[in-house]
Structure 1
Amino acid sequence: MAQSLFPEFFVYGEPARALDVGFLHVETVQARASVHRGQVLAHKHPQMAQITFWTNGSGVYRIEDKTWSFSAPTVSFMPSGVVHGFDIEPGTDAIVVSVADAALAAIAEHSALPLDQPVLITARGEEALWQRLGGTVRMIQAEYAEAQAGAEKILPPLIAVALSHIARLDAQSHAITMPAAVVLGG
């Protein structure tokens, strides 16, 4: 896939720009509904990664040259530079947490998720893990929206926790989808 063929955005619909070291942005997919109208074309973010936690609805997600159908709960992690996009049904929404690569580097040492590969997990794994992830992402959203004193100290550890929850769900979804070992006698 020729990476240069895809537009680069700051957040979807806005041209790429230099980011401050500690840049962090949180919004819902529906906040940009007037821009994408349910179809987010293939694009990439050159200097930031994103966590997208689908809270309700369904759609089709594209990462590089692969496509998956999904329904909530679903979560993805996209490192910077990864081509992605999606089409969603009416009423579908997600919380999107965008983090500058420089800030993510400091968070990485506290995250159980490797941050160099995209991850998409669709409604597999323990309900309790999904609830923890949802609670953590909603805390990130609230801290960002309220912008109270000390938010810059609280948000990075919360993001590390969310990433670690994604790692647990990823490990569990692999365990669920992996076929049982077959032993052949000789």
Structure 2
Amino acid sequence: MTTVTPVPVFTLYGESLNWPTPDLLHCESIHSRSSLYEWHIRIHQHADIVQLLYLHKGSAEIEIEGVKTHVSQACIQVVPALCVHSFKFSPGTQGFSLSFSSPLVALFEQRFGQPLEVLARPGCLPVNASRHRINALFSTLQSEYEGDGLAREIMLHSLISALLVWLNRQCCAGDGGVQRPQRNKAVMRQFSKLLERHYREQLPVTEYARRLGLSVTHLNTLCHEFHGASALA
């Protein structure tokens, strides 16, 4: 009889603490944790945390849901909640790991006015020509995270917003139109939620479009496509 070994569930790899920080995020270098485990972060998952692993220099064998990929170029690996994964880094690898708790993801989705699909599915995004900009973003994030400067939370959220905008743009650019129907459905689901939440306030269509990050024309087009009526109707 074969014994199935359960996949460990951590908040942060190797720690038993529920959440080791008063913030809704955690930022650390790859070196600070991986060097403690001989550069091998073994198979595990996170129940309600999304992680972004930024590989700046070095190489890694990344295993996501049983699929192994060797990467040696600068890239960002998205690890959604409950995604089984492991990392085996070459010694001396440079980069950062950024962890978001679920409430923080929800906060940024509210600000974006739509679900952040780029955080909902695993993906490895090369940074290519944006390498210096992305490295500066992560470096500044870690510096702000570890410091206690004036308006620290505002600065952290600004940096995260810039990073999420970049990720979202890469995700949309790489879809090649294949994922557009799914994105449109997600927008319509968000529109329905907004209607249910605010129907007593009788908000104008322009306000709904603004919150969804769309033009009124685009919102009307989607409403006709999915519901056969205008947004106002």
Q: Alignment partner of 2:160: what SS? A: helix
Corresponding position of 1:118: 122
Amino acid of the structure 2 residue aligned with 1:53? Y
Shift in CA distance, 25/58, structure 1 to aligned 2, threshold 3 Å: same
User: Per-residue deviation at 1:134?
Assistant: 2.0
Total equivalences in the alignment: 169
Corresponding position of 1:161: 162
Corresponding position of 2:30: 29
- TM-score where L is the length of structure 1: 0.79
Q: Which has the higher contact order (CA 8 A, sep 6+)?
A: 1
Q: List aligned pairs for 1:80-159, cutoff 5 A.
A: 80-110=81-111, 113-114=116-117, 115-122=119-126, 125=128, 127=129, 129-159=130-160
Quick check: which has more Rg, 1 or 2? 2
CA RMSD, Structure 1 to Structure 2 (Å): 2.4
8 Å Cα contact 1:22-1:103 kept in structure 2? no
CA–CA distance in 1 between the matches of 2:174 and 2:91? 27
User: Per-residue deviation at 1:41?
Assistant: 0.7
Greater share of residues in strand: 1
Of stretches 19-28 and 155-164 in structure 1, the one that deviates more from structure 2 is 19-28
Task: Determine what percentage of the aligned residue pairs are the same residue.
Answer: 24
Q: Which runs of 5+ in 2 are unaligned?
A: 177-233
CA–CA distance in 2 between the matches of 1:133 and 1:37? 26
Corresponding position of 1:65: 66
Q: Alignment partner of 2:98: what SS? A: strand
8 Å Cα contact 2:34-2:41 kept in structure 1? no
CA–CA distance in 2 between the matches of 1:19 and 1:104? 18
Corresponding position of 2:15: 14
- TM-score where L is the length of structure 2: 0.64
Corresponding position of 2:231: none
CA–CA distance in 1 between the matches of 2:148 and 2:17? 24
Q: Alignment partner of 1:5: what SS? A: coil
Shift in CA distance, 21/146, structure 1 to aligned 2, threshold 3 Å: closer
